[in-house]
Every structure is written in structure tokens, then in C-alpha cells.
Structure 1
């Protein structure tokens, strides 16, 4: 018996707001046993994984794969995760979001967040039809996708597009796996910062997109995972976010692994997915 059904959902029905007319720039940079790494994404897309009726529990997650705002580890940090989530009865939506680029968008720093807010808006708007609980629709992000997911979690009152209702894109929870959080040059992932904000990022953009500085008491509860020896995205990103959430009395669980480096997805000797599953249960997101 198939555990899930897969469906592609258009993120925008007409011209993408803020996009320049251009050919599809996307290409496959590499592929290995963990899947594809696609770069220069310019046509965003949402892929829905629906659990079987007997497992379906109304919880939903929009997944943002990582790739340094240059590309997306679309299989290992996207589709593979969705296939695990549906086995828990969760409806999973893999977001192929656009890479910030002046070739394809008017204001590159807004492109990825616009796509994620639009995706959350679609999922929340479809909650009744899809039998989803609006109080159980969250975001999940890996690496730079973790920066994007946390951006949606802290900027939920600030729609990039004035046409969408901010009440329909606040994530109910956030799951951040070895995330980029801060744009502080001392701890950020410089590649992600440069591609998102440009070579000479100003102080306003640096603070706005340093998500640890944007938390308030209404920020969504969080599950954070990071390896202490991550050589690409310093664990200090997760530590700062954790401390900021605690200071604002937002429920947070931080799981630090002694080793594992960066970008391991679910390929780690420690089965972090079991800890994550327990967190979902304790937060009454799944039974």
C-alpha cells in the first residue's frame, strides 16, 4: 500500500510579483546517492505529499531545503524528509524557492521569503479543503533553508506581498536543522549572506535578517538541531537563536550533536528524527 500521494501545486497562478521576465534558469549541478542539487532556481514550485487517510492527522509542514541561497539539496533535505513526515500522518509540502538574483527578480533579498510566505498562505488557505488544522501548520528548514524558515517565523506580521493576509502565513511552529540564523559577519555563513544581501550589506538589512534579533513573545515554538563541529554554519547560529527564544519565553528544544559536520540530512548515526518525533508528540502536533 502506498503511504503517500504526491501532487504539484502552482505557487503563483499568474506572473510572479517582483520577478523579471526571464527563461527558466534552473540547472542540475550534481547528483549522488543522496539525490539532486539544483542551482539558479527561478521558477518556484510546491510539491505536496499527502499521507494515507488512515494516518492523516491534520498537521502540515512546509519544508525549505538548504543550499546556501545558491541552490537546493532538493532530495535529501526536501523530498526524503517529506516521505518520512507522511509516515507520521503529516501533510508535507516541499518548497522549491527562488534563488536571490538580479537576473530574475527586482529585489533579490525578498524573493525567497516571498515564496515561503506565499506557500504558507496557500497551505493555510487550503486548510479546510485539505482537512488541515490551522494551528498545526509549521515550517522546517535546513541550513540556508533554516534561515528562510526562521525568517518566516519572525517576520510573520510583515508580508512581502501586500496582497496576502498576514494571518494566513504565520507558522504554528518552526523546525530548524543546522540553520543559518544570523547575518553577523562573525558567525554567519558568508556565502548565504552575500547571495541574499549582496557584497556590501547595510546595517539595516543585516539586523532585519539576523533572525535572533527579531524574536518576540509571540514567535512560534521551535525545535533546533545542530552539530557542534559544523564547519560550514557555526553552531553559534543555533545557540543565539535558542537564547533569544528563551529570553522571550518561547518554548524551544535545542538538540546539539557532538559531531556530524554540516548537511547530513537524516544520514547521521544519531537518529535525531526520533527525538523530533517525540517533540511533535509532546507539543500535541501528532498523536
Structure 2
């Protein structure tokens, strides 16, 4: 394992030459056109890199799953430089949302639960940050199962650090996550104050607590019978102890100062049982945390925006935006 300080030596030459570009966002494969424009910019969470290097060198890989020319559906894995893709509205209203796409901790979805949501928010005046977080099964021994949470905490702090640049209000920074990204979101809203990486600079003195959070069709429980097997295996390994399962089941770790939440699930979800959302809702209520929950009879899993069309869950974005207005997050 190589400490991040060892990376400084290799970075000095680039800094001396004036190279300050951030790591670009994942791109479509050669020959595959982009249906929509890429994000305005990216922000690396750490410079020159995260607090540790992976045990083996990672090659960031982007795969396009869509064969329909009407949309892109990319996934990315092998992330060694965690970063945010920024979607800036024409007229920012001061609100920010950190988006954590899903992927079962096997990869991070780019378009379906990332960029598509970011474009919707930007159209509402909300500055959107799509988080490409590191995956726990790719050799991050120091952080282990906390590696995605470490990236989410750092991302929240970095957004608050840059509020002046983006015209944001530090008290209006929300988090939203889908599926396994919903687990990252729920982990963040329950363990925002848990130190999971060594403080690096003044940015890490800022709060990582989201002012509101929306885990959508989230992975929550890490124990049978409700755990999503793939996410549990990728996060905790095959032989996780009950104590480790408990430590990474957000509904068992809700603090008294958790933020208000918006919860959403389709009851016919065959991948992540709706019981996950019910468990989190009950835990939030037991702590007196405001939580608005919406359950729909159909929608399946991973519907995001595009795949919700024509189903009972289709109008969830309007409910989410109305909730944000009610909570005073945006006009």
C-alpha cells in the first residue's frame, strides 16, 4: 500500500509545467456519438489523489450498454481518481445536489442515474454534482468498505468549500442516490460525522452532513433476508460478520441529527426489496427525523427517469422537487 504522499513526487513535474486540468469525465467509446453534451467541468476530490492507492493499478473502463441511438447508457469501473462532474444551471438558485448513481458496487452508472438526473436539476436552477466514487472491491484496503463513504464525505465538503465559485448556499446542499448509490447516500446521511479517511486540508474541517437526503430504491440492509446479495458481497466480502453487517446497514446507525429525507421505492422491485426503504423509514421515524416516503405498485428496479415513463412511478421527479421546495432547499 502506497501512501498518497508518495504520489506527490510524480506530480511535481506536472505542477511545475502549469498542468492543472482535472480528470475528465467518463466518455463514450470511439464511434459511439453522445446524445447530450458532456458536463461543464469535473472536480477531482483530492489533489494529487485519494488518501491511498489501490493495491494494484486500476484502468478506468467505460462501457456503453445502449444500442439505441436515442440515448447513452454508460457504466464506469476501475475508478482510481474519484471526482465530480458538474452541471451548472444558466441561473443558479443557490441550491446544490450531490448525485450518487448506482451499480451494485460493481460499477458506477454514468447516464441513467447520473447525468440524466443532473440535467433535470440544472434545468430547475440547481447545481448538480455527479459523484464517481471508488468501488470497495477494487483493492482499497485502507478504507475498505468505507471507501465510497469517504468519497461522498469529501465531495460534500468540497461543494461547501466552493459555494462562492458556484453561487451556492452552504445550508442548501442535498444528497441523492440510487440503488447502491442510495446506500452511499444513506451511509452519508447517517455517518457523515464518522472519520473514515485522514484529514487532508482545511476542506476536511467543513461539515459533510447533507442538509437533506434522498436515497431512492436504496440498498440499506446488509443482512438476510433483505440484503441485495451483489452489493453486500462487493461491499463486505463473502464472510462478513454480524458486526460488520450492522456497521454498514444505515437503518441501524441513524443519529439524532440526521437530515430530513425523501424516500422512494417501487413495490415490485425484484432486485432490492422494498423492505429496505421501509426499514430506513421506520428508523428515521424512531429518531424523530422528518421523512417523506412514496411507494408505487410498479416500476421495478433502476428506473431512474427514463425507465419510469408509463409506470405508476413516472411522476416521482415532481414529488421530489416539491419536497425540496417544502424543505426550503430551492424556490
Q: TM-score range by the shorter chain?
A: over 0.9
Corresponding residue of 1:284: 328
Matches within 5 A, 1:258-277: 258-266=297-305, 267-268=307-308, 269=310, 270-277=314-321
Contact 1:140 1:149 in 2 (8 A): yes
User: Match for 1:185 among 224, 232, 236?
Assistant: 224
**Cα deviation 1:180-219 (Å, max 9, x = unaligned):** 0111121010110111111111222211111001112210
Contact 2:84 2:132 in 1 (8 A): yes
Corresponding residue of 1:88: 124
Is 1:28 aligned with 2:62?
A: yes
2:65 aligned counterpart, secondary structure: strand
Is 1:9 aligned with 2:48?
A: no
Using a 3 Å threshold, how does the CA distance of structure 1 residues 194 and 107 change in structure 2: closer, same or farther?
same
RMSD: 2.0
Is 1:43 aligned with 2:84?
A: no
Distance, in Å, in 2 between the alignment partners of 1:61 and 1:160 is 22
Corresponding residue of 1:128: 164
User: Match for 1:219 among 236, 244, 258?
Assistant: 258
Q: Which structure has the larger Rg over C-alpha atoms?
A: 2
Runs (4+) off by over 3 Å? 21-24, 102-107, 164-167
Contact 1:30 1:38 in 2 (8 A): no
**Length-normalised TM-score, structure 2:** 0.81
Distance, in Å, in 2 between the alignment partners of 1:125 and 1:215 is 26
Using a 3 Å threshold, how does the CA distance of structure 1 residues 5 and 143 change in structure 2: closer, same or farther?
closer
**Length-normalised TM-score, structure 1:** 0.93
Using a 3 Å threshold, how does the CA distance of structure 1 residues 105 and 48 change in structure 2: closer, same or farther?
farther
Matches within 5 A, 1:236-275: 236-266=275-305, 267-268=307-308, 269=310, 270-275=314-319
**Cα deviation 1:102-160 (Å, max 9, x = unaligned):** 53543431211111111111101112332211111011100000000110110011121
**Cα deviation 1:231-267 (Å, max 9, x = unaligned):** 0000000001001111111111111010111011112
User: Match for 1:119 among 150, 155, 160?
Assistant: 155
Distance, in Å, in 1 between the alignment partners of 2:149 and 2:186 is 10
Corresponding residue of 1:159: 195
Contact 2:186 2:220 in 1 (8 A): yes
* Structure (1 or 2) with the greater strand fraction: 1
Distance, in Å, in 2 between the alignment partners of 1:63 and 1:166 is 22
Is 1:65 aligned with 2:101?
A: yes
Q: Which has the higher contact order (CA 8 A, sep 6+)?
A: 1
Corresponding residue of 2:90: 52
Number of equivalent positions = 284
Distance, in Å, in 2 between the alignment partners of 1:63 and 1:225 is 15
Distance, in Å, in 2 between the alignment partners of 1:34 and 1:13 is 30
**Cα deviation 1:41-62 (Å, max 9, x = unaligned):** 3331211111113xx1111011
Corresponding residue of 1:173: 212
